[in-house]
Structure 1
Amino acid sequence: MAAALEHIKDLGDFVVASPTPFHAVAEAGRRLTEAGFTELDETATWELVPGGYYIVRDGSLVAWRIPDGATPGTAFRIIGSHTDSPTFKLKPRPDIRTGDGWQQIGVEVYGGPLLNSWLDRELGLAGLAVIADGDQTRTELVKTGPIMRIPQLAPHLDRGVNANGLTLDPQQHTAPVWGVGRPDRGILDHLAGLVGIGRDQLLGYDITAYDTNPPAVFGADDEFFASGRLDNLSSVHAGLSALLHAEPGAYIPMLAAFDHEEVGSSSRSGAAGPILEDVLTRIGSALGYAGQDQLRAYAGSVCLSGDAGHSVHPNYPGHHDPQNRPLINGGPLLKINAVQRYATDARGAAIWRRACAAAGVRSQDFVSNNAIPCGSTIGPITATRLGITTVDVGIPLVSMHSARELAGVNDALALSRAMQAFLTDHA
């Protein structure tokens, strides 16, 4: 339990440092650099010798180790994950000034958040700013503290809310308040001031909301972990920890943490884009690929797609498959779907089970109730783009896509240990 609590504290620290994908890859890059990895510039020619490397493209990161003795036929062991989570994104011309004196912020729904879970929370803004710097531009990460709130209507003014349920219009009812009686103040001026520039120097921005309430361990036996963005920073953190601790093996171990999964992955830094294939191709070039070497390497490679899944919900037990009943703290999930919303097949399932056995970790099967279609992951996208055997796994959650999700303390460490065994070819 002590090891699980130490790991979950580190996951909490990672979440706090990662309010957006841009911050997540910056924090991952910081940890990789401390461990001796070298950041590479995609515009430069790569000369790769045995050692650790990583690249950052927008809100995505790919990191890997070249082992001693790697050849053009050396296969890859890849952990895939995603850095983004459902939230609200700052719109252009975001200042809303009502006739009643409130100052609000115009935001757009990103992904599929449980809208009601964002109400009555102290929220911050964070993300990437592109800044004019003479004739050039540069980027800066920006992050506020608690600055805004989406207030709910009191039951005195909505008498049917508890009987009939809460209905939120995503345009009308989700604009946060951040001031009253201050029509002179603009949110973009405020953000520019945080990085020490004038508003006219702020040329572009990707800014999203985050819940400022820190993660917490709770429960009579410290068995629960509540936090924002566990879908899917739990997998990013587990994969990063696995890569940093994996012993050298017969494969090239890799972590690919993509942005934009929650909105379909179709971007230059998403799993449907070229980023992973670009890196694999450049590694192959450095290793001296010729003829059929690339196809041979891909044929022997495996991708473990890490993304959070569902625990049986105690108040909605009928929403789950009657025979497969995973619970938080029961071990990470092997996610299976007949129509390939998850990419797991029999060979991939065997690889995962062997990794769990080598790590001394229990695993649970997840399959959807036939009447309730499941979501999807980067797994099928990666399998389709590259033809690499792909397995979908992740920790079980309750309240997925809430501003504050619920996990089991033991599952995060178990997932990381199984991923480490996978990278170290104990599977």
Structure 2
Amino acid sequence: MIEMEMAYTELNAKLCAFLDKTPNSFFAVKNIKVELAAAGFTELQENSRWQLQEGGKYYVSRNGSALLAFVLPKKAYLGFQVYACHCDSPAFKLKNNAEIVVDKKYVKLNVEKYGGMLLNTWLDRPLSVAGRVLCNVDGRLEARLVNVEQDLMMIPNLAIHMNREANEGVKLNAQTDMLPLIGSAAAKDGLQKLLAEACGVTAEQIVDTELFLYNRMPTTTVGLEQEYVAGGRLDDLQCVFAGLQGFLAAEAGESVPVFCMLDNEEVGSGTKQGAAATFLKDALQRINMALGRDEEDYLVSLANSLMLSADNAHAVHPNHTDKNDLTNKTYPNEGVVVKYSANQKYTTDAVSGALVQLLAKKANVPLQLFYNRSDMAGGSTLGNISTAQVAIKSVDIGLAQLAMHSAYEMAGVKDTVYLAELAQAFFAAAVAEAADGTYFLK
């Protein structure tokens, strides 16, 4: 028990550090590239031919905001063990020409919503900005990542004296109520100068930007026994982090372990770097071709593959226990959640559900089952979108969390370890289907 408690403490300390240095998808890719390079992985480029070797470890990124890594077995492989997750989270995105001067006294910024946000959670918090800046350097466009690591702005609430009905419920308007204050009128043009300085260019050299606000409050652990982790972007960076730990720790099996981190899930996945694109499909086909296998070999390998679509799940809320299913309830620190949906918002079926149960039992990892209430529409994730591109067996999993899509979320510290252990077992495994319909988990 003491050793396990140490594992919870150590792994979640690493999770907190990862969350604090990963304000958005661009930084998720940047930070994971560092870990993969340290582990001996070689970077591939989509615009070059791939020269792969048995036993080799590789990764490739797309758009600077999605990444896929894999390890080739030292023998002919059976299929693919794909762990798919997403690295984007709901946030405010900065518009171009963002500065707005108010009464010749204030400067606020024009922003728009990205994803399904809980707007009120962004009020009265220190915020900053991070993302990608395109710079014109001697006629070449260079993409540079910028994270302004200071408490830069805030979206102030309207005082209750000016809205006596505030505690009765306020409908917030993203265009009028949610624009952050960045400074006094003297600060005009200050953000552009700050970005230019961070990029090492002049303000005139900045051509375009993709910048997102983020909550500056550090990730922490809370609870009498420090049993909960609290911070921004737990959905879905907790699954990203835990899956990566399992991927790096797994021993090679008979199938190709694939860690696939996609972007834009929060806005429907319909981008070149999202689940609806061909990023995963392209990579699997190139692996197949680079090892001299033909198209039929590829189709056979898909039939012997399994995907874990990892995206956090809703825990029972202590103040709203009626919002969950009657017989399938999920709680923080009680195991990895397996998600089911009759309308196929989640990909789990009896076959994939049974396979993950066998895998979890082998790894000694507890599982919980999640269904939405039958009279409530639930969210969706990237699993069913990904399998429209790559037709493999899939199961939707996640970790039970509270305050999903808040600027500051909450989950269980034990569950990070549970998912890392399940992922490690998953990446080392292989799945095969016999002609008589029998399934084998190797």
Q: TM-score with structure 2 length normalisation?
A: 0.94
Query: In 2, distance between residues paired with 1:184 and 1:27?
Result: 32
Q: Which residue of 2 aligns with 1:225?
A: 229
Identity %: 37
Q: CA RMSD for the aligned pairs?
A: 1.1
- In the TM superposition, residue 193 of structure 1 has moved relative to its aligned partner by 1.7
- Specify which of 242, 245, 248 is matched with residue 246 of structure 2: 242
| Unaligned 5+ runs, structure 2 | 431-440
Paired residues in the alignment total 424
Where 2:84 maps in the other structure, the secondary structure is strand
- Specify which of 290, 296, 299 is matched with residue 300 of structure 2: 296
Query: In 1, distance between residues paired with 2:163 and 2:104?
Result: 20
Query: In 2, distance between residues paired with 1:17 and 1:229?
Result: 11
Letter in 2 for 1:139: A
Q: Which residue of 2 aligns with 1:54?
A: 59
Query: In 2, distance between residues paired with 1:122 and 1:187?
Result: 16
1:412 matches 2:416: yes
Query: In 2, distance between residues paired with 1:328 and 1:183?
Result: 44
Cα deviation, 1:269-328, whole Å, max 9, x if unaligned, reads 001011111111111111112241111011111110000000000111111111111111
Query: In 2, distance between residues paired with 1:94 and 1:189?
Result: 13
Query: In 2, distance between residues paired with 1:83 and 1:123?
Result: 19
Query: Is the CA contact (8 Å cut-off) linking 1:77 and 1:422 kept in structure 2?
Result: yes
- In the TM superposition, residue 183 of structure 1 has moved relative to its aligned partner by 5.2
Write the mapping of 1:294-373 to structure 2, written as runs, cut at 5 A. 294-373=298-377
Is the alpha carbon distance of 1:42 and 1:184 closer, same or farther for their aligned partners in structure 2, counting shifts above 3 Å? same
Q: Which residue of 1 aligns with 2:437?
A: none
Query: Is the CA contact (8 Å cut-off) linking 1:224 and 1:409 kept in structure 2?
Result: yes
1:206 matches 2:210: yes
- In the TM superposition, residue 242 of structure 1 has moved relative to its aligned partner by 1.0
Query: In 1, distance between residues paired with 2:185 and 2:382?
Result: 46
Query: In 2, distance between residues paired with 1:386 and 1:344?
Result: 15
1:157 matches 2:144: no
1:263 matches 2:267: yes
Query: In 1, distance between residues paired with 2:313 and 2:188?
Result: 45
Query: In 1, distance between residues paired with 2:166 and 2:52?
Result: 61
1:191 matches 2:195: yes
Using the TM superposition, name which of 278-287 and 188-197 deviates more. 188-197
Q: Which residue of 2 aligns with 1:421?
A: 425
- In the TM superposition, residue 189 of structure 1 has moved relative to its aligned partner by 2.6
Where 1:295 maps in the other structure, the secondary structure is helix
Where 2:236 maps in the other structure, the secondary structure is helix
- In the TM superposition, residue 181 of structure 1 has moved relative to its aligned partner by 3.0
- Specify which of 65, 68, 72 is matched with residue 74 of structure 2: 68
Q: Which residue of 1 aligns with 2:389?
A: 385
Where 1:326 maps in the other structure, the secondary structure is coil
- In the TM superposition, residue 135 of structure 1 has moved relative to its aligned partner by 2.3
Is the alpha carbon distance of 1:294 and 1:36 closer, same or farther for their aligned partners in structure 2, counting shifts above 3 Å? same
- In the TM superposition, residue 147 of structure 1 has moved relative to its aligned partner by 0.4
1:396 matches 2:400: yes
Q: Which residue of 1 aligns with 2:291?
A: 287
- Specify which of 180, 185, 197 is matched with residue 184 of structure 2: 180
| Unaligned 5+ runs, structure 1 | none
Query: In 1, distance between residues paired with 2:31 and 2:406?
Result: 23
Where 1:48 maps in the other structure, the secondary structure is coil
